Amino acid sequence: MWKKLLGTILIAVYVVGCGCVLWFGYLSLFGSTVRDMETMLNSHQRESAFITLSIGAIPMVTSCSMMHHFFKPKRKSVVAALYLPGITSGGCLLFIYLLLVLGPLFA
């Protein structure tokens, strides 16, 4: 009983996370309008979506690993597809981290 309920909750959290990664990934690739021109620091949709992807990296990787350990898929292609949203958002986090750390060195 509890295992089935936990599996359903894990699937729901993973699907919502994958939907967020797909949406913010689309916005970071194709979004380009400035949200509010009259603000002091106006930002494009691309920048905001990229930052949101990087913020959601740790919960998404956690969700991917919980799905992997709960369902234990046998095929490597299924495991790769399972971790793809976590790798995508983790790559955004790594890029922003490297940009913040190494950016001043090359400026």
Of 80, 83, 86, nearest to 54 (Cα)?
86
**Cα–Cα dist 29/93, whole Å:** 16
Per-residue pLDDT of the chain in tens (107 residues, 90 and over written 9): 888 899 999 999 999 999 999 999 998 888 777 666 676 666 778 888 899 999 999 999 999 999 999 999 999 999 999 999 999 999 999 999 999 999 888 77
CA 42 to chain centre: 23
One DSSP character per residue, 50-67 reads HHHHHHTHHHHHHHHHHH
pTM of the model: 0.83
Q: Domain limits of the chain?
A: 2-33+44-106
